[in-house]
Amino acid sequence: MGHFCINCGTALVTRVIEGREVEACPRDNFILWHDPKVSTAVVVEADGGIVLGRRAIEPGYGLWCLPGGFVNDDEDPAAAATRECLEEIKAAVELTGLIGVYHIPKTDAPSMVGIAYRGRLLDGVRPEAGAEMLEVGVFSPDSLPELAFPSHRTVLAEYLKSPAREEAAVLPLAGAAAPRETRPSRAQAVPRRRRTP
Ligand SMILES: [Zn+2]
Angle (CA) 125 77 186, round 5°: 50
- Same domain for 30 and 127, yes or no, is no
Tell me how far the alpha carbon of residue 24 lies from the centroid of ligand 1, in angstroms: 8
pTM here is 0.78
Strand partners, 39: 70, 114
Tell me how far the alpha carbon of residue 20 lies from the centroid of ligand 1, in angstroms: 19
SS3 label, residue 197? coil
**Number of domains forming the structure of the chain:** 2
- Same domain for 83 and 10, yes or no, is no
Tell me how far the alpha carbon of residue 105 lies from the centroid of ligand 1, in angstroms: 29
Residue 118 neighbours by CB under 8 Å, 6+ apart: 42, 43, 45, 95, 96, 97, 98, 99, 159, 162, 164, 165, 168
- Same domain for 30 and 59, yes or no, is no
- Give the span between the Cα atoms of 4 and 173, in whole angstroms: 55
> What are the helix (H) ranges across 149-190?
150-160, 163-170, 173-181, 186-189
Does residue 63 lie in a domain region? yes
Tell me how far the alpha carbon of residue 27 lies from the centroid of ligand 1, in angstroms: 5
- Same domain for 143 and 111, yes or no, is yes
Does residue 195 lie in a domain region? no
- Same domain for 19 and 43, yes or no, is no
Tell me how far the alpha carbon of residue 37 lies from the centroid of ligand 1, in angstroms: 24
- Which of the two residues, 91 and 177, has the higher pLDDT score? 91
- Same domain for 13 and 76, yes or no, is no
Tell me how far the alpha carbon of residue 71 lies from the centroid of ligand 1, in angstroms: 28
> What domain range is 165 assigned to?
37-188
- Same domain for 131 and 78, yes or no, is yes
- Give the span between the Cα atoms of 32 and 12, in whole angstroms: 8
- Same domain for 41 and 25, yes or no, is no
Tell me how far the alpha carbon of residue 12 lies from the centroid of ligand 1, in angstroms: 8
- Same domain for 20 and 106, yes or no, is no
Does residue 90 lie in a domain region? yes
- Which of the two residues, 171 and 148, has the higher pLDDT score? 148
Averaged pLDDT, 175-180: 39
* CATH code, 143: 3.90.79.10
Q: Using only the alpha carbons of the chain, give its radius of gyration.
A: 20
Enumerate helices (H) and strands (E) in the chain, giving the number of each.
5, 10
Does residue 194 lie in a domain region? no
- Same domain for 119 and 173, yes or no, is yes
- Which of the two residues, 193 and 152, has the higher pLDDT score? 152
- Same domain for 172 and 107, yes or no, is yes
Tell me how far the alpha carbon of residue 34 lies from the centroid of ligand 1, in angstroms: 17
- Same domain for 11 and 99, yes or no, is no
pLDDT in tens, 142-155: 899 999 999 999 99
pLDDT at 162: 81
Does residue 18 lie in a domain region? yes
| Sheet containing 31-32: order of strands | 13-17, 20-24, 31-32
Averaged pLDDT, 78-82: 98
